[in-house]
Structure 1
Amino acid sequence: MIDQLLRFKPILKQKIWGGEKLKTVLNKITEEDSVGESWEISDVRGDESVVSNGEFIGKTLKELLKNYKSSLVGESVYKDFKDDFPLLIKYIDAKEVLSVQLHPNDNMAKQRHDSFGKTEMWYVMQADEKSNIIVGFQKDSNEEEYLHHLKNKSLLEILNIDEVSKGDVYFIPPGRVHAIGGGVLIAEIQQTSDITYRIFDWDRKDKDGSYRELHTDKALEVINYKSQVSYKTDYVKKQNETTKVVSCVYFTTNVLPVKGKLSINHYEKDSFVIYMCVAGNVTFTYKNQIEKLTMGQTIMIPACLKDFVISSPEESELLEVFMPKH
């Protein structure tokens, strides 16, 4: 049994579109510039998270999985995923707009990349004035129209652009065209996958003066041309209560505004639970263990731990992430 709350050392990623907010707003420690992503909990090959607290300090997430199995992740999760952790948890700072991109589903990713597909969601933590995201099409499109605009570098004429603000949530299934705009800081929950099909990159060059690879042909096989009236997820928050914001076969995400002291139990869940602090600061107490989270920090509750206390002296906010029962 794993008898402690788990924290992991962030894995920071430099990106040509990255900025300074992971350092200045979320207090990530790095000497590097243009840091675009902080991988908080990862089992991606070559980027496995390492425990930063308690008895298991220095152990990788993969090592914990192999040693503790369902005690860590839950019986149903271990049955489905064995020694592979199913989720990748990130904070993302886009100083400049990301490439316009999309992701493959499980079948395509398995065939082509021996990987999970990539279903993801975004929670906007902070957004500069008039910053936006690209998500989906304005109206139903088709391959012919899409390729015409791609060739003429006029994709924005047919794509949907939303101005965003703090608290906005977007669900991004495989095949949906999307891009985070400049000035947006988000929390991202996704399947464990690093497969991205880049379709347009604003004709910019990387630090070596080269254009980044585009994946036009691969994207054509998975792109979804159907439009929606709205791509934003609506929800209503209640202080000291969890509200479901995204529920899919790959993960469930609740929002939990916290002020004061809350006793939490997860007896009905057969899953690990991850908390991302997206505003304020929160203290987790389990037995004699006390873990303080500030905005931009993350903690994992092993599946075998069912009771703990959350407290905050101010109005704070958590995302609560776990695997649904199948």
Structure 2
Amino acid sequence: MYPLKFQPILKSTLWGGEKIIPFKHLDSNQTQVGESWEISDVPGDESIVANGADAGKNLTQMVNEYKGALVGEANYKRFNGKFPLLIKFIDAQQDLSIQVHPNDELAMKRHNSMGKTEMWYVVDATADAHLRSGLSKAITPDEYAQMIADNTICDALKDYSIKPGDVFFLPAGRIHSIGAGSFIAEIQQTSNVTYRIYDFNRKDKNGNTRELHTELSKDAIDYTVYDDYRTNYTPKENEPVELVTCPYFTTTVYDLTEKMSMDYSELDSFVIYICMEGACTVTDNEGNTISLQAGESVLFPATTRSLEVVPEGKVKFLETYV
């Protein structure tokens, strides 16, 4: 097998901005693109291979054909032949609705779906960009429902000013919302189950407010209060900096100005690189070479034993695997 790139799935939204098209160097007139789904196995939104002998096949077909060679033997069994991660870029020109995602147990019971644990890496941010993550004070489920009814739920949420490089880990059950001015790389479980908690009483073009899922979300929320919901880390050049490790993914950031060799010989998983800055060339142990630049993501199959990354000046990317 060889390193795979995919055609981006661009989604125009009411809150979307105009950063994704130029960031990804795309020739497109599409406007208000709020999301680029980079690698997706969500039914109806399966990514299409863009390069090499498998170009034109979708990710579901690839997993069915290559099985553990693509995703890793243990992953293939654990996730019942489904690709376990969904990778996105998100550009918010307005605040998104406040949301929560159920955990695996609740999502399987209600929706026959995986739950959704996710993480955000802030790629870019305007001077006044912000996001919400977690509760700022202890509330009960009944108090929560009342705060939605009387439009005060934001008073119980932590609101963060953000800058490029900020990281937030969002386990299933944590209330959150992406705020205006945020440009984010998102890594999440393959699930599209979202409970909308609050939408600021906004109306669509037909004058209707969007449905809220107050009762569904009530018992999906983790009501634990923490001091800080930001993931704190120390950036370093030319060495790996682990950001998140959880049962669903492990994510590391690399900020390289010199060549680096990666050893995946002990790893039974695919590896994804998500590039935020600069460019590089990557060569695998079979001699396949692929270019990677800001705005691109690449999937290295589980058969990959090692990679050599050569930056073109400087490159910054996220590495994630299961």
Match of residue 290 from structure 2: 291
Task: Return the offset for 1:145.
Answer: 2.6
Task: Sort the Cα spacing of 1:223 and 1:64 in 2 relative to 1 into closer, same or farther, 3 A.
Answer: same
Match of residue 90 from structure 1: 88
CA distance in 2, matches of 1:170, 1:29: 31
CA distance in 2, matches of 1:24, 1:53: 21
Helix, strand or coil: the match of 2:231? coil
Q: How does 1:247-258 map to 2 (within 5 A)?
A: 247-258=245-256
Q: Is the 8 A contact 1:72 1:302 kept in 2?
A: yes
Q: How does 1:47-62 map to 2 (within 5 A)?
A: 47-62=45-60
Task: Return the offset for 1:35.
Answer: 0.9
Match of residue 315 from structure 1: 314
Q: TM-score, normalised by structure 1?
A: 0.95
**1:142-175 residue CA offsets vs partner (Å, 9 max, x unmatched):** 1233223211112221211010100000011111
Match of residue 305 from structure 2: 306
| Higher deviation after alignment, 39-48 or 26-35 | 26-35
**1:103-152 residue CA offsets vs partner (Å, 9 max, x unmatched):** 01111111111110000000000010021101111122212332232111
Task: Return the offset for 1:214.
Answer: 1.1
CA RMSD of aligned residues (A): 1.3
Match of residue 233 from structure 1: 231
Q: Is the 8 A contact 1:8 1:52 kept in 2?
A: yes
Task: Return the offset for 1:52.
Answer: 0.2
**Residues 1:170 and 2:158 aligned together:** no
Q: Is the 8 A contact 1:100 1:200 kept in 2?
A: yes
Which of 268, 271, 279 does residue 270 from structure 1 map onto?
A: 268
Helix, strand or coil: the match of 1:141? coil
Task: Return the offset for 1:294.
Answer: 1.7
Helix, strand or coil: the match of 1:229? coil
Match of residue 200 from structure 2: 202
Q: Is the 8 A contact 1:16 1:207 kept in 2?
A: no
Helix, strand or coil: the match of 2:290? strand
Q: Is the 8 A contact 2:48 2:58 kept in 1?
A: yes
Which of 42, 59, 75 does residue 44 from structure 1 map onto?
A: 42
CA distance in 2, matches of 1:213, 1:207: 15
Q: Is the 8 A contact 1:69 1:82 kept in 2?
A: no
Q: Is the 8 A contact 2:144 2:218 kept in 1?
A: no
Helix, strand or coil: the match of 1:76? helix
Q: Is the 8 A contact 1:274 1:321 kept in 2?
A: yes
Helix, strand or coil: the match of 2:56? coil
AA of the residue aligned to 1:39: W
AA of the residue aligned to 1:11: I
Which of 177, 186, 189 does residue 188 from structure 1 map onto?
A: 186
Task: Return the offset for 1:288.
Answer: 4.8
| Higher deviation after alignment, 255-264 or 114-123 | 255-264
CA distance in 2, matches of 1:112, 1:34: 32
Match of residue 219 from structure 1: 217
Q: Is the 8 A contact 1:41 1:49 kept in 2?
A: yes
**Residues 1:73 and 2:67 aligned together:** no
AA of the residue aligned to 1:52: A
Helix, strand or coil: the match of 1:227? coil
Name structure 1 gaps, 5 residues minimum.
Answer: none
AA of the residue aligned to 1:277: C
Helix, strand or coil: the match of 2:259? strand
Helix, strand or coil: the match of 1:121? strand
CA distance in 2, matches of 1:78, 1:58: 22
